[in-house]
Amino acid sequence: MLDALKAHPGYRRRGIAAQLTDRRLGGLGIHEEGRLESMLVERLPLPLRAANAVPRVVPRDGRMRNLIIDKAWFAPGRLDAAR
């Protein structure tokens, strides 16, 4: 797994919202697990296929990739930065 992480250096990232004065207003962590592993859905039962037609939860190629957003924070009084 360590080799896979080296092959995909963008696996973990941090995002920061800041003002022009470099004052940090908020941020979050992003973990792109889909770069390391994925789940392949080969067959869906008919009712689930029908339910998946509009919101498209399972992609057409059937490959599910995880993207985790965590450690979200914002400065006191700056809820707008979290949006």
Place 42 in a pLDDT band, splitting at 50, 70 and 90.
Answer: very high
- Domain range for 50 is 2-82
Contact 64, 39 (CB under 8 A): yes
* Predicted confidence (pLDDT) at residue 82 exceeds the cutoff of 70: yes
Q: Which tokens in the block code for residue 29?
A: 């962590």
Name the residue with higher pLDDT: 66 or 2. 66
Residue 51: per-residue pLDDT: 93
Place 47 in a pLDDT band, splitting at 50, 70 and 90.
Answer: very high
Number of domains into which the chain is organized: 1
Question: Residues with Cβ < 8 Å from 42, sequence gap 6 or more?
Answer: 62
Read off the pLDDT of each residue in 61-76 and give the average, rounded to a whole number.
Answer: 89
